[in-house]
Structure 1
């Protein structure tokens, strides 16, 4: 008699355990990486006035000069409003903020300001100055919010030989 040999038919199982282990590790790592790759942008304007163009008499043009010797707040009509020399080798950003708050109380509808920056100023100092020009922390109803100063910041180059003036110490 003939024996029938049955061929063993086996279905091999697919082992996906290593793949699942990889996914379990890879998905959280990619999700965490997305949080750290956010980019903050600061919108800038550049002064539209041409060098030969004259200002109108009723127009207030606020300028903050950021130079290695300190800060200077200027007005198109009155000239220097306040001079803020370095304090212990650091820029006086607190004095700048207080000066701008006083100006904002007098002219609340004004939102633009020009920041003249010397070529010798480093990037972090520039960004800190721009942040101080835009807003200040204010306490409203027992919570800290950002009060608006001059959110429309325009950048300009300060003259290379610019120095602080000795006048305009008071605001």
Structure 2
């Protein structure tokens, strides 16, 4: 007769040190990656969408028209203030910023602006224009901060002519 020897079956120990090392490295890398992948959101106002708010005739309306042929800054009081043709095929954002800074010095309490955009304008140009009309870099106490220009941006379609009444068109700020 044969004897059957029962072998003792033992459960091998689970070695998770490699997995723990992976987690120790992976968790900080993923947490750092979250900081750099934030989604940016731009708040917009659309003309005529707010009920109960009407624009009065005396209120200054500032309009920046963005077309492939250039930028136009106009107000309801003075008409076209400045036309900025493209510089080397690109829109003149520096000229727009300087014009808006001069307007902001004259009417510091104004925060809203209407941005009229032609259909031919690409998305990146639109976002750059919106960033330009919202703020500009300024040096305060030896550090660069974003100074406010016109943070309340409303969007509209650029028609054949500007939205504001240009009967009293003037040049210069």
TM class by shorter-chain length? 0.7 to 0.9
What is the aligned-residue RMSD (CA, Å)?
Answer: 2.8
**Structure 2 length as normaliser, TM-score?**
0.80
For residue 114 of structure 1, what is the aligned residue in structure 2? 114
The offset of 1:57, in angstroms, is 3.1
The offset of 1:21, in angstroms, is 4.1
**Structure 1 length as normaliser, TM-score?**
0.81
In the alignment, is residue 83 of structure 1 matched against residue 83 of structure 2?
A: yes
The alignment partner of 1:27 has SS state of helix
Q: Count residues with an aligned counterpart.
A: 161
Instruction: Spell out the pairing of 1:3-152 with structure 2 (5 A cutoff).
Output: 10=10, 12-48=12-48, 56-152=56-152
| Distance in structure 2 (CA, Å) of the matches to 1:90 and 1:6 | 85
For residue 155 of structure 1, what is the aligned residue in structure 2? 155
- CA spacing shift, 1:55–1:49, aligned 2, 3 Å: farther
| Distance in structure 2 (CA, Å) of the matches to 1:19 and 1:95 | 57
Q: Structure 1 unaligned runs (5+)?
A: none
Instruction: Give yes or no for contact 2:78–2:170 (8 Å, CA) kept in 1.
Output: no
| Distance in structure 2 (CA, Å) of the matches to 1:49 and 1:39 | 25
Deviates most, 140-149 or 8-17: 8-17
Query: Which of structure 1's runs of 4+ aligned residues deviate more than 4 A?
Result: 5-11
| Distance in structure 2 (CA, Å) of the matches to 1:72 and 1:107 | 19
